[in-house]
Amino acid sequence: MACRPMPPSEPSRVFISYARKDGATLAQRLQKDLKEQGFDAWLDTRRLTAGDIWSREIEDAIDRASVVVALLSAGSYLSDICRAEQQRALEKGKCVIPVRVQSDCDVPLYLQTRHWLDLSNPKLYLELLPLLVDSIENKSGVVFSPDKLLRYNNAPALPENFGNRPDLLQALRNTLFTEGANRNISLTAMQGMGGIGKTVRAQALCHDEVVHQAFPDGICWFAIGKESQLDFPARIKSVPGLDRLLGPYDGEAACLAQYRDVLRKRAALIVVDDVWRASDVQPFIAESPRSRLLITRMGVIQRL
């Protein structure tokens, strides 16, 4: 399906989304070749040395682009940054053209299409490059459906006196989006942020546009507390959006199994707030390479 055409006077700006670990080589080659074809091709070069860090420059580059080329690889499938770039582009009405870096990589549902550009074989690159150029010129790619903008988020609203803190959000995003196998993050005291509690910082993350885009399958907030005696099914029922995804189950073991199965291939942010005991966190830990578990710790608990 063709994306809606942009005004003729608008420059042909192309944003290249890629994962550093396995898409950088192709991204750099494409940028060079697309520039030679007359396009204003942009990619985040700081990612090559500084790692995956979200910046205002990325937001501006996506917003200015008319086309986004999404390089799909094992790395981009897991990357919070790549997912946020892809989702932001779709939400802003951009034409997103998926390009395979690896022929067998997993692909997000929202970028699945009948017509793939597969540049996984370097020997076929020069032969297939004109097809990509044609797709860019004709803005032929994935179209975002407005009804997909509805995302679940039950995080508490921010306090009325909470001011806009770009520096705070930048530091928190960098913590949340850090690459690595460990998807469980404990939010503790951060230097220079006196007077802002851990819960409020977690709330700020949950209401940030970029975080929404990085976790399109929803944000689920669980309030624990020192005196809470709820079992795991009761906690799940307190978050209706997640409870509906799990469907019917019989008993705590079945609830836990379905929770882990549902999260396996989803990109969701699970927040467990006001934790005092490690035992309250353990059930929420799941094998989900695209989700994150964010824990705010109020008591002293053992290392997870």
What is the mean pLDDT of the segment spanning 57-68? 95
Which pLDDT belongs to residue 137?
A: 94
- Residue 280 resides in a domain: yes
User: Are residue 106 and residue 239 in the same domain, yes or no?
Assistant: no
Q: Among 25-39, 72-86, 146-160, 269-283, whose mean pLDDT is lowest? A: 146-160
Residues 183 and 259 in one domain: yes
Distance CA 9, CA 202 (A): 43
Q: Residue 5 falls within a domain, yes or no?
A: no
Half-sphere exposure of 215 (CA within 13 A, CB side): 27
| Residue carrying structure tokens 């060079």 | 32
Name the pLDDT band for 253 (thresholds 50, 70, 90).
very high
Residue 304 within any structural domain of the chain: no
Q: What angle do CA 145, 150, 156 make, to 5 degrees?
A: 160
SS3 27: helix
Average pLDDT in the chain? 86
The answer as to whether 7 is a domain residue is: no
Are 76 and 139 within one domain?
yes
Last residue of a domain, one of 103, 120, 148: 148
Give the model's confidence band at 291: pLDDT under 50 very low, under 70 low, under 90 confident, else very high: very high
Does 159 lie in the same domain as 122? Answer: no
| Among candidate residues 133, 99, 92, the one with its CA nearest the CA of residue 113 | 99
- Percent of the chain predicted with pLDDT > 90: 61
Instruction: Give the model confidence (pLDDT) of 226-239 as tens digits.
Output: 888 899 999 999 99
- Would you give the DSSP letter of residue 104? T
Query: Strand pairing partners for 95?
Result: 67
Is the model more confident about 190 or about 85?
A: 85
User: Contact 131/115 with Cβ under 8 angstroms?
Assistant: no
One domain for residues 86 and 218: no
On whether both 115 and 196 belong to a single domain, the answer is no
In tens, the pLDDT along 141-189 reads 887 766 666 789 999 998 888 777 777 788 888 888 876 656 666 554 3
Each residue of 49-58: b (16+ CB within 10 Å) or e?
A: eeebebbeeb
For every residue of 140-201, DSSP letters joined together read BSB---GGGG---B-PPPPPTT----HHHHHHHHHHHT--SS--EEEE---TT-TT--HHHH
Q: Let me know whether 256 and 123 are in one domain.
A: no
Domain, as residue range, for 265: 151-297
**105: CATH:** 3.40.50.10140
Give the pLDDT score at 187: 53
pLDDT at 304: 38
Residue of 216, 192, 202 lying closest to 156 (CA atoms): 202
Q: Is the pLDDT of residue 287 over 80?
A: yes
Q: Are residues 123 and 228 in the same domain?
A: no
- Given a contact cutoff of 8 angstroms between Cβ atoms, the answer to whether 159 and 200 are in contact is yes
Q: What is the pTM of this model?
A: 0.87
Q: Which two tokens stand for residue 111?
A: 């970028």
Specify whether 38 is located in the same domain as 127.
yes
Q: What pLDDT, on a 0 to 100 scale, did the predictor assign at position 159?
A: 87
Looking at the domain assignment, is residue 55 inside a domain?
A: yes
4 in a structural domain: no
Number of domains in the chain: 2
- Residues linked to residue 2 through DSSP beta bridges, in sequence order: 140
The predicted-structure confidence for 90-139, as pLDDT tens digits, reads as follows: 999 999 999 999 999 999 988 988 778 999 999 999 999 999 999 999 99
**How much is the pLDDT for 234?**
96
Tell me, yes or no, whether 192 and 232 share the same domain.
yes
Q: Does residue 158 share a domain with residue 40?
A: no
**Residue pointed to by tokens 């042909």:** 12
Contact in structure between 156 and 204 (CB atoms under 8 Å): no
Among the residue ranges 82-96, 159-173, 278-292, the one predicted with the least confidence is: 159-173
Contact 95, 137 (CB under 8 A): no
Last residue in a domain, options 133, 148, 163: 148
Q: Cα dihedral sign for 13, 14, 15, 21?
A: negative
Task: Say yes or no: 178 and 85 in one domain.
Answer: no
13, 23 in Cβ contact below 8 A? no
Amino acid at 225: G
